[in-house]
Amino acid sequence: MNFGFSEEQELLRATARKFFENECPSTFVRARMEEPGGVTDEFWTKLAEQGWLGLVYPEEVGGTGLGFVDLVVLMEEMGRASMPGPFFSTVLLGGLTILEAGSTAQRKEWLARIASGQAKVALALTEPSARWDAAGVTATAREEGGGFVLSGTKLFVLDAHIAEAIVVAMRTRESGRPEDGVSLFLVPRDARGLEARLLPTMDQTRKLCEVKLGDVRVGKDALVGTKDGAWPAIDRVIQRATVALCAEMCGGAQKVLDMTTDYAKIRIAFGRPIGAYQGVKHKAADMLVEVENAKSLTYYAAWAVDENSPEAPLAVSMAKAYVSDAFRRAAGNGIQLHGGIGFTWEHDLHLYFKRAKGSEFTFGDATYHRERVAQLISL
């Protein structure tokens, strides 16, 4: 047994930390928050050059062929930097869906272009019902003239407005089990009848869209994976993306803890650094414990996902439940222990605080995942 990172992984961490310190300081993040795109071409190209856009894709489709344990290292550093942009949506949602469900041709065509930074692909899954399960997919695709006609509204779609194409999950058949009858379609963003509209969000580093499909016509070749049978692939994508999200959250939580500890060492009140008071010290200790546990569960989930372990769904739900609470609490305590300064726009804490809140409810909150844990341990 070895529950640690390899030398290569530690090197990746060091490289990534340095890279983001240079390329993604908070001035960069804040500039991107103000813009609709949330990323610069230059930055995106640099990510591609590092090999990070294809990190978990097989080498034959232009990827680096690494696993989720490697990805977790990178995502922690991205979370630490509160990195904006369509990495998550393109690499871990759109791209991963094509990897999991797509034909060899689709994979070849898209993944290489994603890995090289040429294409951005979004995934449109959730709808106004805000559900993460198969029952949430109600937008319909009906067969017509050898192709399909897509209608419905997708919501909370990450970066759809800047994607070249959007993979949309549609209901192609009504059946007793919601998991049956879901299909995936790859639709160009400029398809007639498709409208992707950017929505104002609390966490301005995350760009969420509404995607309206008004009788969008696509050919048979737009189908990603088998008709009616796409849910298992989507489920796997959600699972994997959740692990990546947890890692990003761990990185953010660790950064908040670091900022808070540093501040507690220098801020003086009543003649002593505030970190000397147990009211501050004990809260910081609690944060550390939770952050370390959060990491442990996330690392285990990444390993389980890489191994295709039957424990993977349980490991992922355990991680998301715990990490959701831990990041929220760390960010809240971070602001509290900073006093007034932590409440200002200028201070970076709010970037993490808002990221924590958004991530908490993405792919299901702690309550949702605790119930899943209960199911998976046959309670």
Partner 1 sequence: MDFTLTPEQEALRAEVRAWLTANIPDEWVNQIVGRADVPRAEAYDFMRAWQRKLYDAGFIGLTWPKEYGGRGLTFMEELIVQEEMALAKAPPILNILGVGMAGPTIIAYGTEAQKSRYVSKILSCEEIWCQGYSEPNAGSDLASLQMRAVKDGECWVISGQKVWTSLAHVADRMMLLARTDPDAKRHKGITYFLLDMHLPGVTVKPLKQLTGDAEFNEVFLDNVRVHESEVLGGVNNGWAVGLTTLMYERLALGFGLQVRLRIALDGVVDLARRMEKDGRVITKDRIMRQKIAQLWIETEALKYTGARGITKLLKGEMPGPEASSGKMIWVDTHQRMQELAMEIEGPYSQLTRGSDWAVEGGLWQYTFLRSRANSVEGGTTEIQKNIIGERVLGLPKD
Q: 266-325: which residues touch partner 1 (CB under 8 A)?
A: 268-273, 275-282, 284-286, 288-289, 292-293, 295-297, 299-300, 302-303, 307, 318, 321-322
Can residue 308 be called a binding residue for a second copy (CB under 8 A)? no
| Closer by beta carbon to partner 1, 189 or else 206 | 206
What's the one-letter identity of residue 376? Answer: L
279 binds a second copy (CB under 8 A): yes
User: What is the footprint of partner 1 within residues 322-351 (CB under 8 A)?
Assistant: 322, 328, 332, 335-336, 339-340, 342-347, 349-350
363 token code pair: 């792919």
Output 199 or 269, the one with its CB closest to a second copy: 269
Among residues 2, 27, 104, 278, which is the contact residue for a second copy, using CB under 8 A?
Answer: 278
Instruction: Please report whether residue 175 would count as binding partner 1 according to CB under 8 A.
Output: no
Work out whether 367 is an interface residue with partner 1 (CB under 8 A).
yes
The residue from 92, 163, 208, 234 that contacts partner 1 (CB under 8 A) is: 208
Beta pairing, strands 165-171 & 121-124: parallel
Residue 182 · residue 170 · CB < 8 Å: yes
User: From CA 250, how far away is CA 332, in angstroms rounded?
Assistant: 14
> Which amino acid would we find at residue 203?
D
**Under 8 Å between Cβ of 117 and 161:** no
Spell out the residues 6+ positions from residue 4 whose beta carbon is closer than 8 angstroms to its own: none
Q: Hey, what amino acid is at 362? A: T
Pick one of partner 1, a second copy, none as the site partner of residue 155 (Cβ within 5 to 8 A by kind): partner 1
Q: Which is nearer to partner 1, 156 or 185 (CB)?
A: 156
- Distance (Å, whole) CA 375 – CA 226: 28
Instruction: Compare residues 23 and 311 and give the one whose CB is closer to partner 1.
Output: 311
The position carrying tokens 């804040």 is: 30
277 sits near a second copy (criterion: CB under 8 A): yes
Nearer residue to partner 1 within complex by CB, 19 or 132:
132
The pair of three-digit structure tokens given for residue 52, joined into one six-digit string: 């990070």
Smallest distance, a second copy to C-beta of residue 28, A: 39
For the record, the structure tokens of 120 come out as 């951005």
Q: Which two tokens stand for residue 261?
A: 């500890």
**Could you tell me if 39 and 207 are in contact, meaning their C-beta atoms sit under 8 angstroms apart?**
no
Q: Which is nearer to a second copy, 142 or 282 (CB)?
A: 282
**18 contributes a contact to a second copy by CB under 8 A:** no
CB closer to a second copy, 274 vs 330: 274
User: 44-73: which residues touch partner 1 (CB under 8 A)?
Assistant: 69
- Per DSSP, the three-state class of 90 is helix
Amino acid (1-letter code) at residue 68: F
Instruction: State the minimum distance, in angstroms, from the CB of residue 211 to partner 1.
Output: 12
Q: What's the rounded Cα separation, in Å, for the pair 178 and 320?
A: 23
Please tell me the distance from the alpha carbon of residue 63 to that of residue 57, in angstroms, as a whole number.
4
Nearer to partner 1, 10 or 49 (CB): 10
| Residue from 147, 173, 201, 232 in contact with partner 1 (CB under 8 A) | 201
- Of 38-46, 94-102, 241-249, 358-366, the segment contacting partner 1 by CB under 8 A is 358-366
Query: To the nearest whole angstrom, how small is the minimum distance from the Cβ of residue 278 to a second copy?
Result: 4
User: Which residues, 6+ apart, have CB-to-CB distance to 370 below 8 Å?
Assistant: 317, 321
CA dist., res. 289 & res. 299, Å (int): 15
Does 378 participate in binding a second copy (rule CB under 8 A)?
no
**Using CA atoms, how far apart are residues 132 and 110, in angstroms rounded to an integer?**
25
**From candidates 97, 126, 172, 242, binder to partner 1 by CB under 8 A:** 126
CB of 331 to a second copy, least distance (A): 21
Find the shortest distance in angstroms from Cβ 379 to a second copy.
17
Q: How far apart are the first and last CA of the chain?
A: 29
Interacting partner of 373 out of partner 1, a second copy, none (Cβ under 5 to 8 A depending on kind): partner 1
Q: Which tokens in the block code for residue 137?
A: 């997919």
How many CB atoms are located within 10 Å of the residue 115 CB?
Answer: 24
Residue 239 binding: pick among partner 1, a second copy, none (C-beta 5-8 Å cut-off by kind)? none
Rounded to whole angstroms, what are the CA distances from 325 to 154, 243, 351?
27, 15, 17
Q: Which residues bind to a second copy, rule: CB under 8 A?
A: 277-279, 282
